[in-house]
Structure 1
C-alpha cells in the first residue's frame, strides 16, 4: 500500500468512525462513559503509590477532557481527583506540540484556539515537568488489536508519544479510551512509520492489552 493509499484509507476510516460515534444514542454514550470511568478507576487504584516525599500518595494520571460525542471523561476526572490522584490534561501548542496543565473540579476552562477541545487556564508544563505520571490516557476514534490508533487527524498525540517510545526505560504506559464498538480487528487501521502504537485500550468492559509495550501496568 502506497503512502497516498494509506492516507486515503485512513481518512475514509476516520470519517466512518466519526459517523458511527455520532450515531450512538446519547444515553448509551453516557452509560458507556460511566462504565469506562469505573474500569479506569479500578485499574489505576491498583497502581503503586507515588514515591515518598511527594505531595500525595497517589500518582498522576495524564488524562484528557472529552468533547462532543467522545466518551465523557468528566466523571472519571472528578473521581480520580477525589481519590487523591494528580490529574493533568493536554494543551495544544504551536507546531502541533502538547503541553500539560493541572486539572481539578471547578478549574476555569477555555476553548483551544488550535483544536476543538477545552483547556484549563493557568500554568502549563512540559510533560517532563509533570511528576509521577503512572498512565497516559489517549483519545481515539478507533484502535485495532495490533495497537494501532486512528485519531482526529491533528497529529498532536503521535508527535507527543514519539518522544516516549514503547519499551524505552521508564516509558509511561499509554492506553486508549474508546467505546465498545471502536475496538477493531488487527490490521484494520493503516499504519505509517510516525504512527505511535498503544499498549492497550480501556473499553466499558475492561482493559484490553495488546502486548506491544511489555508493561505490567
Structure 2
C-alpha cells in the first residue's frame, strides 16, 4: 500500500508541475522575448556537430508554447537533411511513429493540436537524431518533464538514438524540481539561448 501512495504522490507532483509550466509558458509565448530566444536557440542549434553529422532527423511540429520548429525544419531541408515528423498512433495507446516530411507533404492537426503528416508517408523510426519537445529540462542531469503522455520515453526505450532538447529561459532549471521516474529518458544535449549543455 505505501508504494501505491508513493507513486500517486509522484504522479500528483508531476501533474502540478506540468500545469504550472504550461501557465508560465502560455504567458511567455506572446512576448517579444520568446521570439528573440527562439532565434538565439536556432543559431546555437546549427552550430552542433550532431546536426551536421545526422542525415535523418525526427522533430515535432511545435505548439505556440514551445520553441518554434518551423524555421528549424526549413533550415534542415536547406542542408539536404531528411526530416521526419512525429505522428501519434490512434490505434496503439501512447505510441508514435516518424513520417517523412517534405515541402509537398499535407498536414493535419492531431487531437493535441499538433500538426502531423496526413495520409501515407515513409515511416522511419531508426533515426540519426531526435529533437525532443518538453515543458522543462534540468541543467545538471538533463532530465526532461514532458507533457505526460509518455510518447517520447516509450519511443526512445524502443528506438534509442541521440537526442537534443530546445529550452528557453522559462524551460531550463538548474536541477529538476519535478520527480524523475525510472522510465524518464534524459537528453543528450540541451540547447538554450545562451548555452549548450552537453
TM range (shorter): 0.7 to 0.9
- Bigger Cα displacement from structure 2, 196-205 vs 6-15: 196-205
Q: Using the alignment, how far apart are the partners of 1:75 and 1:29 within structure 2?
A: 15
User: What is the Cα-based RMSD across aligned positions, in Å?
Assistant: 2.0
| CA shift for structure 1 position 26 | 3.0
Contact persistence 1:34–1:75 (CA under 8 A): no
> Where does 1:76-95 land on structure 2 (aligned, <5 Å)?
76-93=72-89, 94-95=92-93
| CA shift for structure 1 position 156 | 0.8
Contact persistence 2:58–2:131 (CA under 8 A): yes
Answer yes or no: is 1:154 the counterpart of 2:149.
yes
How many residues are paired up?
189
Q: Using the alignment, how far apart are the partners of 2:102 and 2:124 within structure 1?
A: 18
Contact persistence 1:139–1:177 (CA under 8 A): yes
Instruction: Mark the CA change 1:206 to 1:60 in structure 2 (over 3 Å): closer, same or farther.
Output: farther
The aligned counterpart of 2:40 is 35
Contact persistence 1:180–1:205 (CA under 8 A): no
TM-score (norm: length of structure 1): 0.79
- Bigger Cα displacement from structure 2, 5-14 vs 118-127: 118-127
Name stretches of at least 5 consecutive residues in structure 2 with no aligned partner.
Answer: none
| CA shift for structure 1 position 150 | 0.8
Name stretches of at least 5 consecutive residues in structure 1 with no aligned partner.
Answer: 49-57, 165-170, 210-217
Deviations 1:23-47 (A, max 9, x none): 1143222222222221112215763
Instruction: Mark the CA change 1:62 to 1:111 in structure 2 (over 3 Å): closer, same or farther.
Output: same
Answer yes or no: is 1:7 the counterpart of 2:11.
yes
Answer yes or no: is 1:127 the counterpart of 2:125.
yes
Q: 15, 22, 47: which one pairs with 1:18?
A: 22
| CA shift for structure 1 position 123 | 1.1
Instruction: Mark the CA change 1:207 to 1:12 in structure 2 (over 3 Å): closer, same or farther.
Output: same
4+ residue runs of structure 1 moved beyond 3 angstroms? 44-48
Q: Using the alignment, how far apart are the partners of 2:187 and 2:106 within structure 1?
A: 31
Instruction: Mark the CA change 1:153 to 1:107 in structure 2 (over 3 Å): closer, same or farther.
Output: same
